[in-house]
Structure 1
């Protein structure tokens, strides 16, 4: 459930007007309600924003965050959607999930479009049980600045999955494990490389098995993989 309150008007430039709005979101998390204070102009919200968490059923602030550029679009009903990660598309301004597989909800907050190809970037905070608060994770945040938007999470295999590309013809999918005392460890790479210059596409698979990398490379005619080129 989302409740929206108009909390003011802020002029931007000579002709455009951004409205300072407050969204109360009650269905994005199983544990927390969220209030987002941000300026919106037409169907786009962005710039400096405040994100406030409340434990469900309570009015006392649990924790507060700030974003320099929350940056998200509003659908036709002007209610922000949270938790969406369409590939290469517009992603949500805020996401909850267990990003380090410790059984507790973590939070990712949009920090503008600072990823490759001006893609979404996020500041990721993981819940620290002993401190009873969310703490910033540099390595998880870095994944969003270095790859195509917010990473995906496979809870069954306990893997974090990222996607990257170089131009039209180089794509990489990487999987990370989260290991105690070590943090993120790259354990798998799947690469499609059509930039070899020999009319072939290399499909490369690398896997970390018992501490050693195993690699397989298969070559395919370029026209079979990219028939329209």
Structure 2
């Protein structure tokens, strides 16, 4: 689990190109030129302290106004506590009223909080001080604005090196455009991100740190289909190359938390596989379809052709040549030309009813 404190993390208003140009003009000279050059560009009328996060460094936020980069309104400064040398001066676009909201609740006396991260949404601090690359040295992430997905927080990342910090383009990329900050799993020594587009598409990425850079080892993309299934594209790194696997799954459904079953009829088999009857609309007509999935919900058979429902036998039948399938409360009877087998249902797992199948346009009732 991540060591970053979790209270409740948020996430491009201006482009990354504009921000990088400002960093080039302002932040990089701090490492090689006297600080006075930057100080002349900074408006000192307001200054905010950041909560103590280290015995070795402290941080302040100062007003900054530049006509060329009008969206950048503050500079976050990281200073060496012993030498008083400013190590980082990062221009950022911050809404200070919002950033100060946690101060009162945490009784910080007006100082801004640090290390609040909730993934993917919620409060997020201006400064995150933690070990991002698993070298047992705490690194820094400084908020540059709200350029993440749906206006959520974004960060510039600096890795600890000797007595200072070095800007990391690769780690910064993980903290830009995703939903919140990247998650840190210290047990597995992995990083992960999530991004989305609306409610129907999600992307989950997992990274290993190799040669001090995050390398993608797994990507899972989920896209909801009109027929109620999830289409999954799973990419996994094997021997240095990404192997891609495409498949469909049933959406996760927990009757204890989600309430009534979304399916017309469903049951589990003795081997924990799942049978589902559900429906979807084609134009103005509603059609039935059948899904057979393994215990993880991965679809093994999908069928949406013609069905026959026998009201006397209370049995639904369909043919997926050369196999005939018959579904009733006993389970699924699978008939081949020279054999037949009953896949028994678990009686307590049965949900729904077969009594109203006549309403579906691809079901013939006899």
In structure 2, the partner of 1:201 is 230
Q: Select which of 66, 84, 98 maps to 1:60.
A: 84
Q: Distance in 2 between matches of 1:221 and 1:169?
A: 12
In structure 2, the partner of 1:47 is 73
List per-residue Cα deviations over 1:131-172 (Å, max 9, x = no partner): x32111111112222311211111221111101111112122
Deviates most, 120-129 or 82-91: 82-91
In structure 1, the partner of 2:128 is 95
Deviates most, 63-72 or 155-164: 63-72
Q: Distance in 2 between matches of 1:156 and 1:32?
A: 27
Q: Sort the Cα spacing of 1:135 and 1:169 in 2 relative to 1 into closer, same or farther, 3 A.
A: same
Contact 1:67–1:109 under 8 Å retained in 2: no
Contact 2:76–2:142 under 8 Å retained in 1: no
- TM-score under structure 1 length normalisation: 0.72
For structure 2, the residue ranges without an aligned partner over 5 or more in a row are 1-44, 65-71, 105-109, 263-366
Q: Select which of 157, 170, 177 maps to 1:139.
A: 170
Answer yes or no: is 1:115 the counterpart of 2:144: no
**Regions of 4+ moved over 4 Å:** 221-228
In structure 2, the partner of 1:186 is 216
- Which secondary structure state, in structure 1, belongs to the residue aligned with residue 73 of structure 2? strand
In structure 1, the partner of 2:60 is 35
What displacement does 1:211 show?
Answer: 3.5
What displacement does 1:193 show?
Answer: 1.8
Deviates most, 200-209 or 159-168: 200-209
Q: Which has the higher helix share?
A: 2
How many pairs were matched up? 197
Q: Sort the Cα spacing of 1:161 and 1:30 in 2 relative to 1 into closer, same or farther, 3 A.
A: farther
Contact 1:139–1:184 under 8 Å retained in 2: yes
Q: Distance in 1 between matches of 2:155 and 2:63?
A: 16
Structure of larger gyration radius: 2
- TM-score under structure 2 length normalisation: 0.47
List per-residue Cα deviations over 1:110-141 (Å, max 9, x = no partner): 00111221221111111123xx3211111111
Deviates most, 147-156 or 208-217: 208-217
- Which secondary structure state, in structure 1, belongs to the residue aligned with residue 226 of structure 2? coil
Structure scoring higher RCO (CA < 8 A, sep ≥ 6) equals 2
C-alpha RMSD of the superposition: 3.0
Q: Which has the higher strand share?
A: 1
